[in-house]
Amino acid sequence: MDLGAGIRKALARITGAALVDEAAVKELVKELQRVLISNDVNVRLVMELTKRIEERALKEKQLPGLSQREHVVRVVYDELLRVIGESYVPKLGKQRILMLGLYGAGKTTTIAKLAKFYQSKGLKVAVIAGDVHRPAAFEQLHQLSAQAKCGFYGEKAEKNAAKIAVDALRSDNNKHDVLIFDSAGRSAMDAALIKELQDVKDAFKPDETFLVVSADLGQVAGKQAKESNDSVGVSGVVITKMDGSGKGGGALSSVAVSGARVAFIGTGEKIGDLKPFDSQGFVAQLTGFPDLPALMEKVREASDEEALQKAMEGGELNYETFLAQMRAMKRMGPLKQIMQMLGAYDLPEEMLGKSEEKMKAFEAAVLSMTSKERKNPDLMKAKVRQERVAKGAGLKPDDVRDLVNNFERVSKMMKQLGRNRGLLKQLEKKFGGKLK
């Protein structure tokens, strides 16, 4: 059974259980251990991971608004994500990339895929045929470059890879934004390969050095990542053949714990079968909860609700607490009516979560503020700050000005209402818990 299917089956025990108690959590943990180990994930890692899952699932305070089931799923998701590491955000600028890896890992194919990827981001790409050992390597890359419609440099008879790098840089003369160098594979990271790669590095001066490993190496991928990093330095790992291997989870987790970052994932032989590594998406897929982001949203709202409660009780309003309030109000429809009953008729409609778009804009703006600005709303009255935030949030300065004005209006009103401490509590009593 592949890793994803196994994890989903294990989680089904929880989601299908009549009662989510300690025994159910222990069952889940046992099943997870079995699945992870049989998928070549390192045993020590599995034990650490499942111990944390068990502890957190049983002991951690459940966030309000989450069911016991959701709480457990969330813990599993969280912990898997922690092992698997961060998503990769490709740099989209001028750069040189050196590719390395053992025989047949997928270096040359991946180069064509990368060329296509960076070109799709508007960058000019050329590839360099630097595999001087395999006779057909030059032709293979040449053909792939035609398919990817990118530039190509190579010298058929040249046996010195570093010299090819120097010549390619000279003839390119800054014409292309991204240069990708194909190097020769070996059956092991031996001294000769390390020396050749080091010479190429000195000549080519890469910004990124990507190690290419095949998913069917399983845990060995992590060992390879570590060795390559120690000997030549690696800035990212591309895991290929994730489509055809049951050991992908093992490869991925072992690379992540080796300290290297997973940069791209190859999922097929075609030129479009490559994507930057998205750890959240990957874990969502593994756990079989495509709506996990929705669950996470619920988690966030639950914590927002706590922040809201505090803000209402303390009467303090700033951009941070305001954002939390808006998020919570979105769910607490009745609050708006209650506020109207209290005479607060002129709450700006769109600020009460009616309009998704405004909400998103507001959120983007708040996230572009410094934490000082979030806590001291008065600072945001300055035009220069509004302009800076607009730039950061991808909004027009006028939009940010509107948001600031709206905030000021609501803030004034909240101050009047908020003088009544514990307002929310009283309202809840009065309306019989309708607020939740």
Ligand X SMILES: Nc1nc2c(ncn2[C@@H]2O[C@H](COP(=O)(O)OP(=O)(O)OP(=O)(O)O)[C@@H](O)[C@H]2O)c(=O)[nH]1
List of residues contacting Mg ion (CB under 5 A): 107-108
Q: Which does 254 bind (CB under 5 to 8 A by kind): Mg ion, ligand X, none?
A: none
Q: How far is the CB of 277 from Mg ion (least distance, A)?
A: 22
The length of the chain is 436
Q: Tell me which residues in 152-211 interact with ligand X (CB under 6 A).
A: 185
Q: CB of 64 within 8 A of CB of 306?
A: yes
Q: Which is nearer to Mg ion, 107 or 116 (CB)?
A: 107
Query: Counting Cβ atoms within 10 Å, is residue 266 exposed (0-12), middle (13-18) or buried (19+)?
Result: buried
* 75 versus 237: smaller Cβ distance to ligand X: 237
Residue 103 binding ligand X, by CB under 6 A: yes
The residue (of 108 and 228) whose beta carbon lies closer to Mg ion is 108
- The site that binds ligand X (CB under 6 A) totals a number of residues, namely 22
Nearest-approach distance from CB 131 to ligand X, in angstroms: 5
76 φ, ψ (degrees, to nearest 5): -60, -45
Supply 271's token pair: 């030129």
Q: Which does 261 bind (CB under 5 to 8 A by kind): ligand X, Mg ion, none?
A: none
**Least Å from the CB of residue 272 to ligand X:** 11
d(CA 392, CA 302): 27
Task: Report, in Å, the least distance between residue 115 CB and ligand X.
Answer: 13
Which position's Cβ is nearest ligand X?
185
**Shortest Cβ 329–ligand X spacing (Å):** 46
Contact stretch for ligand X (CB under 6 A) within 41-49, 102-110, 331-339, 412-420: 102-110
Cα dist from 73 to 84, 189, 211, 292, whole Å: 16, 41, 33, 9
Residue from 65, 104, 233, 281 touching ligand X (CB under 6 A): that is: 104
- Of 125, 137, 197, 311, which one interacts with ligand X (CB under 6 A)? 137
Residue closer to Mg ion, measured from CB, 107 or 176: 107
